């Protein structure tokens, strides 16, 4: 079983302890058997892959550095409403 991707981003990363995976959007932990089910949940919550991909890109930039945080907030603020 492979880890679900959204565009070029992985939706899950390995948790720090145990055999769990953490969702990069909602930060909840899941067993590998439930990853696809949660991917469907996130897909329904955000509406489409492009919106979810934009959200993941924003979240991954925010968690890197101060400069990237400012740039990510600006890009998210000026993005076309259909991509949010």
- Domain count for the chain, please give it: 1
Domain span at residue 58? 5-83
C-beta of residue 12 within 8 angstroms of C-beta of residue 24 = yes
The pLDDT tens digits of the residues spanning 63-84 come to 766 777 777 777 777 776 655 5
Average confidence score pLDDT of the chain: 81
Backbone angles phi, psi at 13, to 5 degrees: -130, 160
Look at residues 58, 60, 64 and name the one whose alpha carbon lies nearest to residue 77. 58
Give the C-alpha separation, 11 to 67, whole Å: 23
Give the C-alpha separation, 11 to 82, whole Å: 21
**Residue 38 pLDDT > 70, yes or no?**
yes
């Amino acid at each position: 079983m492979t880890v679900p991707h959204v565009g070029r981003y992985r939706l899950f990363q390995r948790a720090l302890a145990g055999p769990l995976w953490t969702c990069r959007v909602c930060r909840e932990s899941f067993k590998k058997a439930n990853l696809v089910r949660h991917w469907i949940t996130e897909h329904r919550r955000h509406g489409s892959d492009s919106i979810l991909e934009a959200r993941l890109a924003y979240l991954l930039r925010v968690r890197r550095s101060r400069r990237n945080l400012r740039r990510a907030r600006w890009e998210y603020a000026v993005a076309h409403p259909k991509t949010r």
